[in-house]
């Protein structure tokens, strides 16, 4: 998966800091003025976790 803004933020906030997806949506909304649907974040997270398991 490409190392774009959403992927980097999911890795940092969700995996390392264990924030909720709602917190991540709020983060994108406040910092970058990007409104993301929770479904989009879930799909990206599913791909990210699948990729990390394939590497391990």
Q: What is the pLDDT of residues 7-56, one digit of tens each?
A: 999 999 999 999 999 999 999 999 999 999 999 999 999 999 998 777 76
25 exposure class (CB count in 10 Å sphere: 0-12, 13-18, 19+): middle
pLDDT of residue 16: 96
pLDDT of residue 2: 80
Range of the domain at 37: 5-55
- The predicted model scores a pTM of 0.84
What is the rounded distance in angstroms from the CA atom of residue 39 to the CA atom of residue 7? 14
What is the rounded distance in angstroms from the CA atom of residue 43 to the CA atom of residue 4? 15
Count of the separate structural domains present in the chain: 1
């Amino acid at each position: 998966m490409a190392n774009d803004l959403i992927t980097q933020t999911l890795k940092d906030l969700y995996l390392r800091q264990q924030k909720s997806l709602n917190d991540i949506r709020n983060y994108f909304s406040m910092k970058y003025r990007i409104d993301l649907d929770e479904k989009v974040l879930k799909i990206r997270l599913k791909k990210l976790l699948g990729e990390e398991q394939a590497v391990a």
